[in-house]
Amino acid sequence: MNVQEIRAAVAAVRDPEIRVVTIAELGILRAVSVDGDGTTAVTITPTYVGCPAMDTIRADVRTAARRAGATDVRVDTVWSPAWTTRWIGEEARAKLTAAGIAPPGDVPEPAGAAPAGTRLLPLTVTATPPPAPACPRCGAPAEQLARFGSTACKSLWRCGSCGEPFDHFKEH
């Protein structure tokens, strides 16, 4: 059993709600290791509490690890540090845009010191909403149609120029 091959197989698991990106590209996959008893341990962090895709992701991770040679697979979920859209790389953002999904905007790194192994979540209380995403098709400004889109982690927008509706991956 080769842990690098298992990690590569698990990293290639596609997000079941956003099929153009993998769990590694989204930053959901945290670690793959083999315990002393030979159990393959895969560590993941959900994009948010209650994400309905997590059961499917866990099943797909187990299947991918077994196909790569793991016999006993354990999928561990860790909540700290909490997942953030800062973990989505540029390549994944480009894939989202190419698929007609506006990628999340920049989220500032929270200020201050956090306890070891954790991170501070920024809490912004303001009457000013975040800036509207640009249309992933033509780049024009858009208007929000609904706070939730095709999945709870996305909102629904319509381009002010071409009129096309599109999902926007929410920042957090």
Give the whole-angstrom CA distance, residue 29 versus residue 21: 12
* Residue 171: predicted pLDDT: 85
Q: Say what the pLDDT of residue 107 is.
A: 72
pLDDT of 105 reads 86
Tens digit of pLDDT for each residue in 33-53? 999 999 999 999 999 888 889
Q: 78-116: per-residue pLDDT in tens?
A: 998 889 999 999 999 999 999 999 999 877 666 655 666
Q: Any idea of the CA torsion for 149, 150, 153, 158, to the nearest 10 degrees?
A: -30
For the entire predicted model, the pTM comes to 0.82
